[in-house]
Structure 1
Amino acid sequence: MMAAAGAVGAAPAAEPNTQVPAGSRHYAATGFPDRIVASPAQDAAQGFAVAWRTSPLSAVPQLELALAGDSPDLGQVRALEARSGLLQSENGVSQHHRVDVQGLLPDTLYAYRVQGQDTWSAWHHFRTAGAAGQPLTLLYFGDTQNKNLSHVSRVIRQGWQIAPDARLALFAGDLVSGGDGEDDNEWGEWFAAGGWLLPGMAVAPAAGNHEYFEEFEDTPQERRVLGRHWPLSFALPGNGAPGAASTTYWFDYQGIRVAILDGTSALDLGTAKMQADWLEEVLGSSTQPWNIVVVHQPLYPLRAERDTSVLATQIRPVLQRHKVDLVLQGHDHTYGRRGDDSGALPQYISSVAGPKQYRLSPQARGTMKPTAEDTQLFQVLRVDGARLHYRAYTVTGRLYDAFEILRDTGGAKRLGEITEGRIAPRDCPRAVSPKGRSDRCWE
């Protein structure tokens, strides 16, 4: 007999990380193109890049591009050849392709498709960035990492429902968990969770510590190594910092300069000074009215026993010197926001989109407002002339946090809190996680 509507049973136990049964090859590559994702060029008004995957092909695949129109006759089609690389995983060999599209018109809707073995993908739409004064909506997601298909998919869907006009999506790292023999299955579920968002808007991810793995673990030679999926799964601008060239980059998008850092490389591989020098140059040359930095590890940690002091020492002075507006972060699987020690800006924000939920430290509770535990979130940013609106929503679309930054005619900026419409603060209601861990709220 079915339970009555609204009835609530026992709380479910923690799920497996993927929905792939043992021995399944559901996410093995085929001749049909999949894992299609678009990313911004350095100047996003003039270009973008596309990455996709197939099984190994017998010929070099192409991307076809045309101006999008209302007729199925797309008219003149431009063909661009891809460059490709192979990857071996638990699902066999896959071939990953990349095409950089340049010389485009600003604020123009294009149609593109990518080639497989004797077949093509659907035609996708992609609009280039417009001028600095045009309104822009973008999405920001904290860590996705775990149970992407089961739980993260609803966060991404809700984000797109709240902000259907979003043109840019920023991910703050730890896209997958990795290191469990199911890396390719996890990536398969991350792409499945992203759905039509990934090929249809400019996607800009940061690398987190889970994009790395431990080589020679528990030996004197142990070291962090970037996972093989990262450099093949995304077509990023390629203008990064020395020592972290494949995981750092920057681009200009409609009045915003976005710089992506690699906190894991800075903390564990000794590249903090190189990234700081690179960031100094990137921000110092910016003529955009807004500047946003994305880094996985928070400069002000939210979880107990985190040490990111290297980032605070090397990176924070650069952010302060160049009056960065927002620093978007992840890693600590809670939510928290605060201003810089020296003033209201930058605003440092950490968020989490996935179901893995930690607990806030007393330090975070005392220095950040608002904070949240046990809450899946996404963020919507709207830039309209001299105003930057920020909204954080729960996975069910309820407003959790809001503020705006106002820029006067002289370029000075001030922060304005928005409290109307926010729901009450959320804390973890459980003494231990489903697996009995007191340091986590949910697995």
Structure 2
Amino acid sequence: MRALITRRSGALLAAALLAAAAAAPSAAREDARTPEPNTRVPAGVHLYRPSVFPDRIVASPLQDAGEGLAFAWRTDASVQAPLLEIVQAGDSPDMGQPRRIASTMRELRTENGAAHHHLAQVDGLRADTLYAWRVQGGGTWSAWHHTRTAAAADAPLTLLYFGDTQNKNVSLTTRVVREAMRHAPDARLALFAGDLVSGGDGEDDTEWGEWFEATGALPTSMAVAPAAGNHEHFEEFEDTPRERRVLGAHWPLQFALPGNGARGAERTTYWFDYHDVRIAVLDGTSALDLGTAQAQARWLDGVLAGSPRRWSIVMIHQPFYSPRAGRDNAELREYLLPVIRRHGVDLVLQGHDHVYGRRLDEGGRLPVFAVSVTGAKQYRLSPGARDTMAPVAEDTQLFQVIRVDGDRLRYEARTATGRLYDAFELAGPRGGRRLVEQADGRIDQRLCSRARTLKGRSDRCWE
């Protein structure tokens, strides 16, 4: 009997210890974890080595997105001049004779071997039409993908916006992208704030492979328009008097962008019209580090001055008003902000600072400036951001759903689990718009509760 009681007492004690461990503070449990690597690919493994099968396939808008699309994809170096086929989508597997488009090719050698990157541009398409298209590899083809061209200016538009993805893309960006597509199945356009990958650590191509894997079906089911961030550049001649920023080799090859940019930043600035929105994409790294701020301001002035569209959105990686301590992008405010104010831009979408923060321009005027982050790296807000921005957030992966319909624009920021974090509407005709807060359904403010990261950094919340 005593032995039975002892066994029962031991079992009860073990159960109590397990329960106590489960109820222990999260900080204690965090101490037992190890930091996750930037990619899930072990050293020496070449998961993303190119082959005869086309991969990294992405559609992007032409300057007039109702008239055409542009496409980029990758193969190994044995594939020289693959074709793109496109036809109006139909319900029968026999969709008719497709139009064939020749591609251009450039080689890129990386840690994953030699690859050929292919670009093809298709114009003369019908607006608001669903097209089936596929790209060729070496003796093989991709699946047939569906992308709809932009509609007329007066048609409603739903678009997605993603802040920096950058780190641990397969691990932690995947879920955000999938949640975004679930919340906005009607989205036709996806904007990315830059710093899509981290780069500069010897596994750049593997990081790009992870980015495309994380985004899944998105780049082939809607048009994708990214901004270049500082991590799309690298430091040449680092720690020498000749040190300078240089655009990474992947950027001009991974996306087929309009090519109508500012002098000195032709490969990383561009604009296009999508329904009733003119979207201008700036390169903050080039403006701040390569001296092109004035040239970009002159270019932006011309882009916005001639716009017949009802709405205008500017996207740039670095914020005009930084929510992170120790950062101040004064040159953007000196040269580019006057142009944005003069032309009544409605919304400025930004990244770089790995927190969330929203504010109006000085005097409570438009545009709305929004900083957001999609990926795993999470910073801390500066005291100034807490005073001048609302709402704000730390330690939160987010995506944005933006719906434009006539004289109304609705903006929603949602968390990785789809919960509504921020929402507002811009309403009224151009020149007389007002911001209307949408508070119903929003969750409470989220701030970082950790004293330091798993690597011991107190200046970040997660990395």
Give the TM-score normalised by the residue count of structure 2. Answer: 0.93
C-alpha displacement of 1:59: 3.8
Amino acid at match of 1:415: L
Structure 1 Cα separation of the partners of residues 79 and 331 of structure 2: 48
SS of the aligned residue for 1:66 comes to strand
Structure 1 Cα separation of the partners of residues 428 and 266 of structure 2: 33
Distance 1:301-1:59 versus aligned 2 partners, 3 A rule: closer
Amino acid at match of 2:190: A
- Out of 109, 124, 127, the position equivalent to 1:103 is 124
User: Is 1:146 aligned to 2:170, yes or no?
Assistant: no
Give deviations 1:290-324, integer Å, cap 9, x for gaps: 00000000000010110200001011000100000
User: Is 1:323 aligned to 2:368, yes or no?
Assistant: no
C-alpha displacement of 1:342: 3.8
SS of the aligned residue for 1:345 comes to strand
C-alpha displacement of 1:343: 3.3
Matched with 2:291 is 270
Give deviations 1:317-358, integer Å, cap 9, x for gaps: 001000000000000000000000143310000000001000
User: Is 1:415 aligned to 2:411, yes or no?
Assistant: no
Q: Is the CA contact (8 Å cut-off) linking 1:143 and 1:331 kept in structure 2? A: yes
C-alpha displacement of 1:17: 0.3
Where does 1:1-400 land on structure 2 (aligned, <5 Å)? 10-11=29-30, 12-400=33-421
After TM superposition, the structure 1 stretch with the greater mean CA deviation from structure 2, 159-168 or 336-345, is 336-345
Structure 2 Cα separation of the partners of residues 59 and 176 of structure 1: 27
Give deviations 1:223-282, integer Å, cap 9, x for gaps: 000000000000000000000000000000000000000000000000000000000000
SS of the aligned residue for 2:417 comes to coil
C-alpha displacement of 1:202: 0.7
Amino acid at match of 2:114: V
Q: How many residues were matched structurally?
A: 439
C-alpha displacement of 1:57: 3.1
SS of the aligned residue for 1:292 comes to strand
Give deviations 1:339-394, integer Å, cap 9, x for gaps: 00143310000000001000000000000000000000000000111110000000
Q: Is the CA contact (8 Å cut-off) linking 1:57 and 1:116 kept in structure 2? A: no
User: Is 1:405 aligned to 2:426, yes or no?
Assistant: yes
Structure 2 Cα separation of the partners of residues 348 and 57 of structure 1: 46
C-alpha displacement of 1:58: 4.5
Q: Is the CA contact (8 Å cut-off) linking 1:406 and 1:414 kept in structure 2? A: yes
Structure (1 or 2) with the greater helix fraction: 2
SS of the aligned residue for 2:339 comes to helix
Show structure 2 runs of 5+ residues with no match.
Answer: 1-17
Amino acid at match of 1:28: R
C-alpha displacement of 1:14: 2.1
Structure 1 Cα separation of the partners of residues 328 and 239 of structure 2: 21
Give deviations 1:415-442, integer Å, cap 9, x for gaps: 1011111100000001111111111000
- Out of 424, 435, 438, the position equivalent to 2:455 is 435
C-alpha displacement of 1:60: 1.1
SS of the aligned residue for 1:36 comes to strand
Give deviations 1:160-205, integer Å, cap 9, x for gaps: 0111111000000000000000000000000000110011101000
* RMSD after superposition: 1.4
Amino acid at match of 1:421: G
Structure 2 Cα separation of the partners of residues 98 and 74 of structure 1: 24
Q: Is the CA contact (8 Å cut-off) linking 2:170 and 2:214 kept in structure 1? A: yes
Q: Is the CA contact (8 Å cut-off) linking 2:52 and 2:79 kept in structure 1? A: no
SS of the aligned residue for 1:176 comes to coil
Q: Is the CA contact (8 Å cut-off) linking 2:378 and 2:394 kept in structure 1? A: yes
Q: Is the CA contact (8 Å cut-off) linking 1:31 and 1:116 kept in structure 2? A: yes
Q: Is the CA contact (8 Å cut-off) linking 2:321 and 2:328 kept in structure 1? A: no
Bigger radius of gyration among the two: 2
Q: Is the CA contact (8 Å cut-off) linking 2:79 and 2:137 kept in structure 1? A: no
Q: Percent identity?
A: 65
SS of the aligned residue for 2:185 comes to coil
C-alpha displacement of 1:133: 1.3
Show structure 1 runs of 5+ residues with no match.
Answer: none
Q: Is the CA contact (8 Å cut-off) linking 2:344 and 2:431 kept in structure 1? A: no
Amino acid at match of 2:207: E
SS of the aligned residue for 1:324 comes to coil
SS of the aligned residue for 2:386 comes to helix
SS of the aligned residue for 2:118 comes to strand
C-alpha displacement of 1:155: 0.5
Structure 1 Cα separation of the partners of residues 294 and 123 of structure 2: 32
Q: Is the CA contact (8 Å cut-off) linking 1:298 and 1:330 kept in structure 2? A: yes
Structure 2 Cα separation of the partners of residues 298 and 93 of structure 1: 36
Give deviations 1:122-174, integer Å, cap 9, x for gaps: 00001000011111110000000000000000000000011111100000000
Structure 2 Cα separation of the partners of residues 400 and 217 of structure 1: 40
Matched with 2:13 is none
Amino acid at match of 1:416: V
